[in-house]
Amino acid sequence: MFSAIIGYEYTTEGANNLHRNVLFRDDALRANQTRPFSQYDSKNPEDLWASLADFEARTGAEVLAIPHNGNLSNGRMFSLNAYDGSTLTEEIAQMRARFEPLYEATQIKGDGEAHPFLSPDDEFADFDTWDAANLNGTEVKTPDMLAGEYAREALKRGLAIERDLGVNPFKFGMVGATDSHTGMATAQEDNFFGKHSGVEPEPHRWEHVVIEAPDPALTIYGWKQAAGGLGAVWATENTRASIFDAMMRKETYATTGSRMTVRFFGGYDFIEADTLTRLPADAGYAKGVPMGGDLGAAPEGGAPSFLVAALKDPLSGNLDRIQIVKGWIDAADETHEKVYDVVWSGDRVPDEAGKLPDVGNTVDVASASWTNSIGAPELIGVWTDPEFDASQPAFYYARVIEIPTPRWTAYEAKRFDIKMADEVPMTTTERAYTSPIWYSPM
């Protein structure tokens, strides 16, 4: 069964890509009591939220907005200020937290989880990176803009803002999307149909101009496109209302196109025995909170423990590893992050610096194929934060990494028997990002 959700795209600040997708919980009877809010009403997203609040008050309906991937906003998506540059207020922060419970962390126009400049110690941070300019190439991107564009940094900024204002405007869950305008669910590498009908599969698609910039060096060509992302929702049933409710509680995760299954729970009592089950959610819900949830103050001498499990997409690559990404803020108001390898395939052993050896690569580019002779079909583990400080607010989310598989460009090269430029990547490492679980000392 397919549950259709009524919605529209709020397109604004086209050059800096502050677009939002607006979704309704209810049916057409309620949704038709408003008209789509557009840039002709206002280019200020804060006015969109005010309009949505008015709609809810008038009709009793429920609605949410999901910001597009902010990697082309040139720092504006997660600005520390209000839209007009003024000081961020508690009211604006509360409006954003209320109407934007989710964030599109990955899509066709690149990935927005992390950036190597912001996370230099993260070997997986540089994935489908678009960081040359804004959406139409009219403003060159500078390094100081990056912190206002990527999900992990935004989650850290949210902790700092909450300490100042008492509310976290960036307390969002993760979803992915294709952002395609074809009406087709073609997010897998072997059937990537493009963003719109002008970039459908054909021998020269990889070199077509997708976004023409005034400076040719900033022009985006077809091969840069990602095959797209997907949003996964842990709903109690397959209905519009249930899916919407799960989105509101942030029980969601993003993938870069793979349909892997991921569970993530946090608590204080998970033990290794909880991994010896075919139904990790039984222990997860009984002993903790799911992705998108909140952990209260830790028991005396205790530390958060996490139960994380992933099952591969039957048609994609095996799993390399599961990581937990932690972000926190210290007493000096400085934010930090660290990536932990939690469970992995094979008999690999981390080196003295804690680095896990590479899983390997079985991709044969010429035939656009690979073998699942490395990696694992499923992974499950329990991890307890070894550096926990009960006084420091923090967030934790899981990142699942697949083994390398052929990228859509490899399939296209084989399909049309063509040779692409050397700069075109031919392999990819699909991944998933869960919504965070937040810890608060209060």
Q: Which amino acid is at 352?
A: E
- The average pLDDT across 319-329 equals 98
Q: Which sign does the torsion angle of CA 415, 419, 423, 429 carry?
A: positive
- The average pLDDT across 410-437 equals 98
3-state secondary structure of 158: helix
- Write the pLDDT tens digit of every residue in 342-358: 999 999 999 998 999 99
- Write the pLDDT tens digit of every residue in 74-86: 999 999 999 999 9
- pLDDT exceeds cutoff 80 at 257: yes
Domain boundaries, the chain: 7-233, 261-272+300-439
Strand locations in 220-318, DSSP E? 220-221, 230-233, 252-255, 261-267, 288-290, 294-295, 305-311
- Write the pLDDT tens digit of every residue in 105-129: 999 999 999 999 999 999 999 999 9
Radius of gyration of the chain (CA): 21
Q: Which sign does the torsion angle of CA 143, 148, 150, 154 carry?
A: positive
Q: Does residue 275 or residue 228 have the better pLDDT?
A: 275
Q: How does residue 196 score in pLDDT terms, banded at 50, 70 and 90?
A: confident
Pick one of 1.10.10, 2.60.40, 2.40.50, 2.40.128 as the CATH number of 261-272+300-439: 2.60.40
Picking from 327, 316, 188, the residue whose alpha carbon sits closest to that of residue 257 is: 188
In sequence order, which residues have a C-beta less than 8 Å from that of residue 36 and are 6 or more positions away?
Answer: 8, 10, 22
- Write the pLDDT tens digit of every residue in 372-381: 999 999 999 9
Q: Other CB atoms closer than 10 Å to residue 97's CB: what's the count?
A: 18
- Write the pLDDT tens digit of every residue in 38-71: 999 999 999 999 999 999 999 999 999 999 999 9
What percentage of the chain exceeds 90 in pLDDT? Answer: 91
pLDDT of residue 397: 99
- Whole-number Å distance between alpha carbons of 287 and 196: 45
pLDDT of residue 139: 93
Q: How does residue 186 score in pLDDT terms, banded at 50, 70 and 90?
A: confident
